[in-house]
Structure 1
Amino acid sequence: MADRSVADAPAKAVGMGMMPGMAPVTATPVAGVLLDIDETLVDLEWAMHRALREATAPYASLSEAEWEAFCAVFTRGSDDIYDRYVAGEITFAEQRVLRAERCLAAVGTAFPDTAAAASWLAAYEKAQPGYVRAFDDVVPLLDELDAAGVVYGAVSNNVHDYQRAKLDHAGLARIRVLVGIDAVGVAKPDPAIFREGLRLLGTAAEHTVYVGDNPHHDVVGAAGAGLRGIWLNRAGREVPEDAAHAVAEQIASLRELPALIGLV
């Protein structure tokens, strides 16, 4: 691991770095990095959109604009349904079907019966893994962390085995430390799931950063567990009000992280 601190890292960050008006982050050497998976390491939205089109084509004939709207409802307009799965109210398969039904309703159609919904689910589950890929800034980051001797892993709001398969499909088998919601029975932003990541990494919270695309789940949650939370804001979004107190640093690409944490 590089032995320099992060004292002047914000000034060297290539992208957004610290939020305007925020105090500099305390200079603390970084020994470990924990990362979110979906939309941080893996371009899940791209994979979902393509699998959705493939699986849903037999049930809906849509224009390009309608397909875009359909996919947007599934990936960005169904958080309430996914939250029910995380809370244990419905199964993973059930939340997928419910989201698909919401998408179909949005374009004025529906599955003809439960057998069709089951067939759609099977087709979607078969198609999606083939589209899973890592963002192009992931491997360069992992290479730099390896070169610096900084250990790393992932903490996700999904179950371990499903996310393990996703990482492997994306060519990220080198990420061995992985914590899912089934490890400790809670999801982000609960501090317990981050602490399990720290335990597996073998690093202290004050020497570990957490990077993710969700400012509330990832940054607020990490801060609650004593980690340094960094928001990966690929789309240049505004900081949500409920996370503004915790989001002191943000980056537009994982390529910016080594400089921000003092590795280069």
Structure 2
Amino acid sequence: MHSTPVPGAPAPPVRGVLFDIDDTLVDLHAAMKDAMIAAGRPLLPNFGPGDWDGFAALYMADAGRYYERYVAGEFSFTEQRGLRARAVFAHLGVPGFDAVAEQEWIEDFERAQPRSIKAYPDVAPTLDALDAAGIPYGAVSNNVHDYQRAKLDHAGLQRIGILVGIDTVNAAKPEPKVFWEGCRLLGTLPGETLYVGDNYLIDGVGSAAAGLQAVWLDRKGTGAPSDGRADPVVDRVAGRVADGVRVVVGLDALAALAAPSGQ
């Protein structure tokens, strides 16, 4: 099942599509920013919109790589949430973010975020087109299954029934077996399955290395990251497979990639 595509050979017809979730199907950045404001306003009552933009940028940059370390098993999900907040408050020099405040931050954040979870506008039309073409689809995410299931449901994406989380096969992207499990559940071979995600290295290079037809979703048109930002796990294969990663700026482009004439 896990055959390696022959370089230069035409891609086989697409018989299934797998998606990343966060910032691919769901606008997680916007939802997290809303939750940060709700959780942080008691400590930062004078912050304006620009201040919160900066706060969110620091949090999402995650200089301590706490989320990656959570995925690797070093922290719990709740712990990484608090550690990231702690780092931002320390960077801003805001006093009073002690253990009690951190716990309140986490609880307020988790209550607020689901209210802001929304799918991008191009998601429903893309799924409609795949349904019309009879192409099955699912999601593969670097978070636990139940948390991401709830996120999809909050976003109105209940029809995405196939979902692989890091606890499904006890592994995380870019490990090939995570992508392969998604293919198994779809009933498709890797080489005939598109994988679409917003992280060039984890999603694009990682899925290409696993033998899938890799599509990097570059919504902001930022261009691929430099080698200096490469994840150590996928950096070993980046040179071999990077040219096989196709780039789109919106999910509406998938119709052409999945259609027989687009192969």
Query: Per the shorter chain, which TM-score range?
Result: 0.7 to 0.9
Instruction: Name 2:41's counterpart in structure 1.
Output: 57
**Structure 2 residue 192 is matched with structure 1 residue 207:** yes
Q: CA shift at 1:25, angstroms?
A: 7.1
Equivalents in 1 of 2:34, 2:215: separation in Å?
A: 29
The alpha carbon displacement at 1:27 in A equals: 3.7
Greater shift, 127-136 or 217-226, is seen at 217-226
Per the TM alignment, residue 78 of structure 1 is displaced from its structure 2 partner at its CA by 4.0
Calculate the aligned-residue CA RMSD, in Å. 1.7
In the TM superposition, 1:223-262 aligns within 5 A as 223-242=208-227, 243=238, 245-247=241-243, 248-262=245-259
CA positional deviation for 1:251: 0.4
Partner residue, 1:160 = 145
TM-score between the two structures when normalised by the length of structure 1: 0.87
Which TM-score applies when normalising by structure 2? 0.87
The answer to whether the 8 A contact 2:11-2:191 is kept is: no
CA distance in 1, matches of 2:260, 2:63: 38
Aligned match of 1:36: 20
In structure 1, give the amino acid aligned to 2:33: H
Inter-partner Cα distance in structure 1 for 2:71 and 2:168:
13
- State the alpha-carbon separation in 2 of the partners of residues 67 and 189 from structure 1: 32
The Cα of 1:240 is off from its aligned counterpart by: 2.1
Sequence identity (%): 50
Partner of 1:9: none
Give the superposition deviation at 1:202: 0.6
* 1:1-264 aligned within 5 A: 26-60=10-44, 61-78=46-63, 80-242=65-227, 243=238, 245-247=241-243, 248-262=245-259
Higher mean alpha-carbon deviation, 129-138 vs 243-252, is at: 243-252
How far 1:115 sits from its partner (Å)? 1.2
SS at match of 1:96: helix
Residue deviations 1:52-86 (CA, integer Å, cap 9, x gap): 00110001132332211111111123461111100
CA distance in 2, matches of 1:43, 1:72: 15
Q: Distance in 1 between matches of 2:24 and 2:63?
A: 19
For 1:187 and 1:178, the matched residues in 2 are separated by 13
List alignment gaps of at least 5 residues for structure 2. Answer: 1-6, 228-237
Tell me which amino acid in the other structure corresponds to 2:214: G
The answer (yes or no) to whether the contact 2:171–2:177 under 8 Å persists in 1 is yes
CA contact (8 A) 2:86 2:97 kept: no
Provide runs of 4+ in structure 1 moved above 6 Å.
none
Aligned-residue offset at 1:24: 7.4
**Distance of aligned partners of 1:204 and 1:98 in 2 relative to their CA distance in 1, 3 Å threshold:** same
Structure 1 range deviating more: 208-217 or 77-86: 77-86
CA distance in 1, matches of 2:26, 2:33: 13
CA contact (8 A) 1:212 1:230 kept: yes
